[in-house]
Chain A
């Protein structure tokens, strides 16, 4: 049996691929891209939420938010380590992020304008992330799969905490309710775009499915997210900003309106409201920390 046959046999039998195993070049490259994109998303996602730490409206809300963002940093750290098993260093991945060769989830290129956005982000963005990550627990690459198992537990806390924030506001004063609806209006479409292009338009999906990296398609995952989220909105009296949203008895799912793919691609390609800000922020922190990392290295070398 050739290496490739052995590899495909493992995929077929749901045996995880491990770092030392033979794998096709395309498989490695695809995973390097996807896992680092995932790691970058965790880290860049700290910024829009970090925007509200200093202004959180209660001490309890503040520590929940701060601990949540700390979790995301931990996810980033963990995913970088997992991605490093593919033979590329964290520094290399970070360099790709800063030179815009690597992407991160486009949702983080939108601004967080009110406290209600902390609710909407936890509820919808972490909510969408969970749907995606639960599915990725079955991914064929061992370190990635294990990372997803570990991360998913925390993501479901984040989702509940976000929903709690937006519920309080939706059921609060008229001004709070207005902020909650406004946050939903702004976050809804970008969060359903998080699942990526329609299956028919998704170039890279074919190989990813064949290799067991992806186990479910973008559209399947998007539909699952919408179906579980609509009732959550109704429960707290918020309206999903999609006039075409309608329960489809036959499919047992919600039909929904046309996604604005021009907006999606514009943001992916760098023209979202905060793309420049996010990358500049990352570079600034990285550059300002250079002397610290150098000092730590110098000290470690002297004392070894």
Chain B
């Protein structure tokens, strides 16, 4: 296959973002504000784990070197993970998690909508399946942002602060590198500059309904395309990879 390396990198980026966010959301289990939210956040987490597994299996197939979904998930260090910076942000309080969800879900919604038309059939099918899931995720996060924004004074203040805090990681979602350029030319990848206005429209309309204020664009953190992360990611991986690293010969 032509441009195989670019395709592998592209899949890693999507798969890692799903995996890391799934791992974060799973931390809510038994910690939610109500049992219903333990269940809802677990649902989203399970969808995202499923998405990452599909892509890791595809990568293993593309590389043909005997990798598995697990060797890909558990065998790499933080400098080889390409998840978007937002996905590794700590859960914080429920409002932080929900806002992080909105920003990522709105991106995923538009991204998968377009990726359905990819000339790569595997990615197109993956996008179609994932779109159904992220449509629900986006509804869940949007409804909660609205409830928290238009709930009590305390909740409004909290969720506005979450939005202001997390805003600076949003440009990272839209970064494009050589892989994008090559794959966009092939009709496989999505031009992210075209997604950005759609994403902004979705986020803006939710923010409005929530009676919140869209943050000003200030300094933006980036780095995920080069696998340069915050300190948080190393700890997340350390936890996640512990058994595979401690007992490399064991099968589970």
State the A residues within 8 Å of B (CB).
Answer: 43, 46-47, 50, 53-63, 66-67, 69-70, 73-74, 76-77, 80, 115, 165, 168-169, 172-173, 175-176, 281, 285, 288-299, 302
- In the bound complex, what is the Cα–Cα distance between A50 and B30 (angstroms)? 7
Residue of B nearest to A119 (CB): B252
Q: Say whether chain A's binding surface is mostly helix, strand, loop, or mixed.
A: helix
- In the bound complex, what is the Cα–Cα distance between A81 and B30 (angstroms)? 19
What are 7 contact pairs spanning A and B, CB under 8 A? A54-B23, A59-B49, A61-B252, A173-B250, A288-B33, A294-B152, A299-B150
Please give the number of chain B residues whose Cβ is less than 8 angstroms from any Cβ of chain A in the complex. 49
| Interface contact B70-A58, CB-CB below 8 Å | yes
Cβ of A294: which chain B residues have Cβ within 8 Å of it? 151-152, 154-155
State the B residues within 8 Å of A (CB).
Answer: 23, 26-27, 29-39, 42-43, 45-46, 49-50, 52-53, 56, 69-70, 73-74, 93-95, 146-148, 150-152, 154-155, 158, 239-240, 242-244, 247, 249-252
| Interface contact A73-B34, CB-CB below 8 Å | no
| Interface contact A66-B45, CB-CB below 8 Å | yes
- In the bound complex, what is the Cα–Cα distance between A172 and B248 (angstroms)? 12
| Interface contact B250-A292, CB-CB below 8 Å | no
| Interface contact B150-A302, CB-CB below 8 Å | yes
Tell me whether A47 and B30 are in contact in the complex, defined as CB-CB below 8 angstroms, given that A57-B243, A59-B49 are known contacts.
yes
| Interface contact B53-A293, CB-CB below 8 Å | no
What's the minimum C-beta distance from B23 to chain A, rounded to whole angstroms?
7
Selected from A61, A76, A169, the residue in CB contact (under 8 A) with B35 is: A76
Selected from B34, B39, B93, the residue in CB contact (under 8 A) with A74 is: B39
| Interface contact B247-A173, CB-CB below 8 Å | yes
- In the bound complex, what is the Cα–Cα distance between A294 and B34 (angstroms)? 11
Cβ of B249: which chain A residues have Cβ within 8 Å of it? 173
| Interface contact A46-B29, CB-CB below 8 Å | yes
| Interface contact B70-A59, CB-CB below 8 Å | yes
| Interface contact A176-B34, CB-CB below 8 Å | no
Tell me whether A70 and B39 are in contact in the complex, defined as CB-CB below 8 angstroms, given that A59-B70, A172-B251, A299-B150 are known contacts.
yes
Selected from A53, A58, A77, A295, the residue in CB contact (under 8 A) with B29 is: A53
What's the minimum C-beta distance from B175 to chain A, rounded to whole angstroms?
27
- A59-B73, A73-B38 are known; give 11 further A-B pairs, CB within 8 A: A43-B35, A53-B26, A54-B239, A66-B46, A172-B250, A285-B32, A289-B32, A292-B33, A292-B148, A294-B155, A295-B155
What's the minimum C-beta distance from B172 to chain A, rounded to whole angstroms?
24
| Interface contact A175-B240, CB-CB below 8 Å | no
